[in-house]
Structure 1
């Protein structure tokens, strides 16, 4: 029986396929494969998604963090751009699966970890997403607090910072609660506004400072290549890890893509360029403030606080918009889907969004951002070491093991081929643990710390190779003939 059909590279369920799984405990409206009419995202939608997510206070702060660690401006910017070019590779590889089969990340994870084991990578990604959600709320709340103090007597209100934080947190949770389609619409109109506001800030800085300012000509603090590399590799891992989360759950968005071309062009043209562009604005504006105010101001809210009340009002709207577009897209969808996947028949995306918001508070973002060492090395570096191996397994399974052939209805069966007898694929778990353990152990062995400094990349490659080897000839792999038996081909189908 043909349970799925392919047209123009997009695979959807047939009526028979949907009937076969609609009563499964692993199925609900949020986790089912998308239908043809739902593939509406164009290249612009993906470009605006990444522009909206990349223009945010953590991006602005990351360049500052690298310069505070000793890099000069161009070393910091190139490190960030290189890191984003590297992470773009797994993003595009995992995007293909989401686009072709229309499945969200937790369902995609069932393919390689099993129907029950999928909770491991889904919850891991979800916890990190919740952590980022809290970080962005703290950034945004603190910025709003700074701007309110500059306009009113807000500084005299007891606990004003915490009030700003929790108020902004509530706004983020409310917007996230409205769902992915609302996110798509918000990103579409917010992206051009954020670009204009960013350029306006850069033009102001250049005009007021009469040039780029002294910091752009300040030399690196490193006197030898060895000193530079000691900071460069963990910084590069941090830059990669910044979006390593999205490299995993990008199917949550690409499942709505009109075509593979739409998602590839939209993402490739916007991610590295926007991250490099906004990081540069952060460095350039901070450089200009040395000339204008006699000190380097790395906090954009602190810069805006020196403007006129009307400019502060516009800047506050910009900061709220920049944080919202990042937070609700990059940091709430994954944990919400992870919660939903725990009990598809009882929990919805909206319930998951609320739970993720509460978890973000428990992770204490104020501690993570206590200093740049925590931010770059503890937070970004540590979760990069965790997510790298999972990324490697995802890529290996879809591209090397299964060769882009998936039996969609089996993903929603409690006793299907992707259940792996116990619901867990032990080979995926072992590949993940080995990929995490080797970099972690190397951290404490003299002369091998460079492996830990590149934990995301090393872990990805180790787990990719081990998983591919261990899954050779597994019974869940579809042959080309098996795939043809279940897949109806539309005459308009192109290479997928």
Structure 2
């Protein structure tokens, strides 16, 4: 006889307890340095300097990065407070069955990003081998590079952090070197880096161009803003800390310090690359601007950068989602392999040319989910969650045959609004999704499907690390044990 709730209790999706939280402030900041060095960020800079000066492009990038970093930290509290991943908490606003549709879309997007980053990393690897050994076979490099990343991620979060600790300092140093090399090339071509603009925009067109750069940066990381809990659940946090800022200080070190600084620097490199050689792909630009051992080292940075980005920002979220869909018989490592396969069969080498409009569209659609999560977690439940029932097929999150219609209607409204206003996609998607879900859930859906944490808002019952609780899901046959309190672990 099937155990109640067993389908929802995949071992890789159970709440992370204190001893499982391995990542500190510096470790998370290093992970962000690795994640933010990605070739698509260079594309934002290259596109931006076609209508704005580099200084304005960087200001728009920094503002957009701070805004999306704050969104990440806000939603990431779900992982810090309760140890829950994105697809598991999505059972609250979408239902135990309904969670799969938006989650799979996010997982597919993450898989595509894995493929894109792997492709550009493989072209850099191929260029290194060509310089050293006259070897030229980018597709073989693609397969080898993808396999290495999948194995690294499948080994677990600690292996990911160790790689970030190694890669981050190297990436920082070589990024500075790359900027100097490209700046010299731009000067040699007679172009002043901070004043050169290909087709200057003025008046309202300049304002629109500024907003597009800002929204593109937000859309760039909008997918991770939605599923930040899948990563933040591994972040260390002080027990019994009620101050939100102090409890999330490790997140802040990554999301509001490391992300904006690194993202802005990478966009700057992309802009300088375009100014230097009219191409924002630094693999091509560097081959024109450098040679020999210098070129080899700079290209090696590209390989490290795509590797560190993929494992944290793409493979971990995608694998967690696929594991949620597949259930207990589909472990995390299998989700990692699935993400790698999907990211390869979409032929990512054909996707880069449509990256900017795709970022605006995807960011808008997923921003509605960020808004829904904000309304559900903060405005309605006030951070209290009946975690026990998230793992029960017949619990309060069963709703109507496993679907929360308030969540789906709000997602359609928010995503649709963002689609019709692409230049403002993230902001519009967020606010429409948030507002519509709050109204529909509070005054309609939750009137029919009562939520225990809203009916009895008891911190001692429904908060996590704030009150010293680490949710431990027991055997499904022992329902009383599903929300056992685990004492503080050191």
TM band (smaller chain)? 0.7 to 0.9
Q: Which residue in 1 is equivalent to 2:480?
A: none
After superposition, the Cα gap between the structure-2 partners of 1:314 and 1:215, relative to the gap in structure 1 and judged at 3 Å, is: closer
Length, aligned pairs only: 450
Cα offsets for 1:399-452 (capped at 9, x unmatched): 101111001111100011111141110110011011122343x3xxxxxxxx23
TM norm structure 1: 0.84
Cα offsets for 1:312-336 (capped at 9, x unmatched): 3323332211110001110111111
1:133 to 105, 114, 128: 114
1:462 matched to 2:432? The reply is: yes
SS in structure 1 at match of 2:200: coil
Is the 2:81–2:463 contact (alpha carbons within 8 Å) kept by the matching residues of 1?
no
Is the 2:75–2:373 contact (alpha carbons within 8 Å) kept by the matching residues of 1?
yes
Q: Which residue in 2 is equivalent to 1:278?
A: 266
Q: Distance in 1 between matches of 2:323 and 2:467?
A: 35
Q: Report the aligned-residue RMSD.
A: 2.7
2:19 to 23, 37, 50: 37
Q: Which residue in 2 is equivalent to 1:224?
A: 202
1:172 matched to 2:188? The reply is: no
After superposition, the Cα gap between the structure-2 partners of 1:483 and 1:24, relative to the gap in structure 1 and judged at 3 Å, is: farther
1:453 matched to 2:434? The reply is: no
Is the 2:5–2:394 contact (alpha carbons within 8 Å) kept by the matching residues of 1?
no
1:115 to 93, 96, 110: 96
Q: Distance in 1 between matches of 2:348 and 2:148?
A: 17
Cα offsets for 1:224-262 (capped at 9, x unmatched): 322224434343322111100110111111112222222
Give the Å deviation of 1:354: 0.9
SS in structure 1 at match of 2:328: coil
1:188 matched to 2:158? The reply is: no
Give the Å deviation of 1:283: 3.0
Q: Distance in 1 between matches of 2:369 and 2:464?
A: 32
Give the Å deviation of 1:84: 1.1
After superposition, the Cα gap between the structure-2 partners of 1:58 and 1:476, relative to the gap in structure 1 and judged at 3 Å, is: same
After superposition, the Cα gap between the structure-2 partners of 1:490 and 1:321, relative to the gap in structure 1 and judged at 3 Å, is: closer
1:341 to 324, 330, 334: 324
**Comparing 123-132 and 186-195, the one that deviates more:** 186-195
Give the Å deviation of 1:46: 1.5
SS in structure 1 at match of 2:92: helix
SS in structure 2 at match of 1:216: coil
Q: Distance in 1 between matches of 2:427 and 2:142?
A: 35
Is the 1:146–1:302 contact (alpha carbons within 8 Å) kept by the matching residues of 2?
no
Q: Which residue in 1 is equivalent to 2:477?
A: none
Q: Which residue in 1 is equivalent to 2:284?
A: 302
After superposition, the Cα gap between the structure-2 partners of 1:395 and 1:255, relative to the gap in structure 1 and judged at 3 Å, is: same
TM norm structure 2: 0.85
Q: Distance in 1 between matches of 2:74 and 2:435?
A: 16
Is the 2:44–2:216 contact (alpha carbons within 8 Å) kept by the matching residues of 1?
no
SS in structure 1 at match of 2:385: coil
Q: Which residue in 2 is equivalent to 1:87?
A: 68
Q: Which residue in 2 is equivalent to 1:390?
A: 369
Give the Å deviation of 1:214: 2.0
